[in-house]
Amino acid sequence: MATAKLTFQGKEYDFPIIEGTEGEIGIDITKLRAQTGAVTYDPGYMSTASCKSNITFIDGEKGILRYRGYPIEDLVKRAKFPAVAYLLIYGHLPDPNELDDWRRRLTMDSYIHEDMIKFFQGFPPNAHPMAILSAMVSSLSAYYPDTGRGEDMKRNVVRLLAQAKTIAAYSYKKSIGQSRIYPRTEFSYAANFLRMMFATPAEDYVAQPVLEDALNLLLIVHADHEQNCSTSTVRMVGSSRANLFAAASAGICALWGPLHGGANQAVIEMLERIERDGGDCDRFFARVKDKKARLMGFGHRVYKTYDPRAKILKEATDRVLNVLGINDPLVEIAKKIEERALNDSFFVERKLYPNVDFYSGILYRAMGIPTDMFTVMFALGRIPGWIAQWREMRSNPNQRICRPRQIYIGPTTQSFSGDN
Ligand SMILES: CC(C)(COP(=O)(O)OP(=O)(O)OC[C@H]1O[C@@H](n2cnc3c(N)ncnc32)[C@H](O)[C@@H]1OP(=O)(O)O)[C@@H](O)C(=O)NCCC(=O)NCCS
């Protein structure tokens, strides 16, 4: 096998080269410190692969995203979210029997323990739903402990996927002071979520197919994205053998920030600000170029071309708004900004293109989802990815606790003078 040579302090070292199935090359430096005494320095992990994984492949230069080898463009056309979740978690698309069983289990386990309902009363009415989601998901471990037995583990995977959407919808109902709507067995994952969000005890509610389809699509494009900030957090927490709910709750917190899943909310707030300014983008672009603001929903650590998820969502936005007969002025502003940025040297030179969050917020808005729930929607989509990555890590017998090193730059030994 080929090796990479390192010359360091007059000595030469060989490190193995590893190659992924799509031709990605890595230098295995696990023995670097033992052999040389030195560590690598890579803040932000710009050049560091933290694991080998067979779940998701991204080619950021070509704009490719595949789950278990299936292109995202095919999955959104041909599968529903539960099947994609199954694919990510168990490695293959379910056959019809597996899918029936999976759907049934997702429905049967979507009720949260009645005692947990009381927790909602403790949150203030204006609590951010991400705070509620992370706290409630962590609390699930109090009800469903990780016994380490295979059957419990299987069930906890289902409980997490199924109950997160119930928790999300209840947190919304709590914020608007409406009564909770229980999930029902006859509805799909997406239809149940929409019903729990928008039905009231006063009237019947059946989700419009266009909304159900849009939700499936949104959940699928968010379902996994290899070793991003929240997924790496899930793996990091899970590497200490913390249980699945604890690891997922940590992932929810990591996702919350505006540079990650919180960007969808930030995009809408940015577009609304520009609209309030009369739709004039000049001032905003000047601020971005002065580095006083960021164009939210643009740029990505991995994609250096158009994010394939943004392409899917842009098309879906036009389609859904058309069917619903919505004329949202923010769409025009978003398209104007996109066109301008794609032709502006500041963005072109830095390879900044729309990412998944640029159009997702507009779609959520059209579906009636309130802005502060957008990141929760991202989390619901991402849960299968977190579960898949957590399982992959936990099933690796050679997995060690994740524990990076540092380069200490603080004071050397100081001596105490006098009492303090
Ligand atoms: C996603 C993101 C965090 C990636 O960050 P990163 O890989 O660390 O890239 P950097 O922050 O180093 O940015 C590289 C350069 O592009 C600029 N840049 C990156 N994203 C930008 C944006 N959205 N608007 C304006 N400038 C941006 C940076 O200022 C930097 O410029 P410089 O080289 O002159 O210093 C970043 O692009 C961003 O903040 N985007 C907006 C938030 C967002 O949409 N997040 C959702 C991601 S799915």
Model confidence over 237-248: pLDDT tens digits? 999 999 999 999
Q: Which residues neighbour 66 within 8 Å (Cβ) at sequence distance 6 or greater?
A: 56, 57, 72
Closest CA to 130 of 216, 255, 220: 255
CA 12 to chain CA mean position, Å: 42
Percent of the chain with pLDDT over 70: 100
d(CA 397, CA 311): 39
DSSP assignment string, 312-359: HHHHHHHHHHHHHT---HHHHHHHHHHHHHHT-HHHHHTT--B-HHHH
Burial of 88 (0-12, 13-18, 19+ CB in 10 A): buried
Name the band, by pLDDT with cuts 50, 70 and 90, for residue 148: confident
Residue 277 pLDDT level (bands cut at 50, 70, 90): confident
How confident is the model over 2-46, as pLDDT tens digits? 899 999 999 999 999 999 999 999 999 999 999 999 999 999 999
- Confidence label for 1 from pLDDT (cuts 50, 70 and 90): low
CA of 283 to the centre of ligand 1 (A): 19
> Which positions ≥6 away from 315 have C-beta within 8 Å?
none
- From the CA of 274, how far away is ligand 1's center (Å)? 20
Which of 281, 313, 350, when mutated, tests ligand 1's pocket best, judged by the most ligand atoms within 8 Å of its CB?
350
Strand stretches in 10-158, DSSP E: 11-19, 25-27, 56-59, 64-67, 70-71
Residue 260 appears among annotated catalytic residues? no
> DSSP code of 45?
G
Distance CA 17, CA 142 (A): 44
For the CA of 298, the nearest atom of ligand 1: 23
The closest residue, in CA terms, to atom 10 on ligand 1 is 301
Residues 165-213: tens digit of each pLDDT:
999 999 999 989 899 999 998 999 999 999 999 999 998 898 999 999 9
Q: How many CA atoms lie within 13 A of 85 on its CB side?
A: 26
Residue 197 CA to residue 187 CA, distance in Å, equals 14
Give, for ligand 1, the residue of 259, 264, 307 to mutate: max count of ligand atoms closer than 8 Å to Cβ: 259
Mean pLDDT of 42-61: 97
Ligand 1 centroid to Cα of residue 74, in Å, is: 29
Report CA(285)–ligand 1 centroid distance (Å).
14
| Closest ligand 1 atom to Cα of 301 | 7
Nearest CA to ligand 1 atom 44: 297
Dihedral class, residue 66 (left if φ above 0, else alpha if ψ from -120 to 50, else beta): beta
Give residues with Cβ within 8 angstroms of 193, minimum separation 6. Answer: 165, 168, 169, 215, 380
Whole-number Å distance, alpha carbon 289 to ligand 1 midpoint, is 12
User: How far apart are the C-alpha atoms of 383 and 168, rounded to whole Å?
Assistant: 13
Contact 6, 16 (CB under 8 A): no
* DSSP conformation class of 223: S
d(CA 412, CA 420): 20
Annotation marks residue 113 as catalytic: no
Please list every protein residue whose CB sits less than 6 Å from any atom of ligand 1. Answer: 259, 263, 288, 291, 294-301, 350, 352, 355-357
Whether the CB-CB separation of 239 and 100 falls below 8 Å is answered with no
Stated as kind and residue range, the H or E segment containing 133 is helix 129-143
Task: Give dist(CA 116, CA 120) in Å, integer.
Answer: 7
**Residues 6 or more apart from 116 whose CB is under 8 A from it?**
136, 139, 140, 143
Rounded CA separation 118/53 (Å): 40
* Burial grade of 32 (CB within 10 A; 0-12, 13-18, 19 or more): middle
What is the C-alpha to C-alpha distance for residues 317 and 314, in angstroms, rounded to an integer?
5
What is the per-residue pLDDT for 151? 80
Domains detected in the chain:
3-49 (2.20.28.60), 68-258+372-394 (1.10.580.10), 263-366 (1.10.230.10)
Is residue 279 very low, low, confident or very high in pLDDT (cuts 50, 70, 90)? confident
Q: Pick the residue whose CA is nearest to atom 45 on ligand 1.
A: 259
- CA nearest ligand 1 atom 2, residue: 300
| Residue 299 confidence class, pLDDT cut points 50, 70, 90 | very high
Ligand 1 centroid distance, CA of 132 (Å): 29
Task: Tell me, rounded to whole angstroms, the distance of Cα 363 from its chain centroid.
Answer: 17
Question: Which amino acid is residue 85, in one-letter code?
Answer: A
Residue 368 token pair:
């009636």
* Helix%, strand%, coil% for the chain, nearest 5: 55, 5, 40
What predicted TM-score, i.e. pTM, was given to this entire model? 0.94
Of residues 300, 307, 328, 344, which has the active-site annotation?
A: 300
Q: How many CB atoms lie within 10 A of CB 118?
A: 9
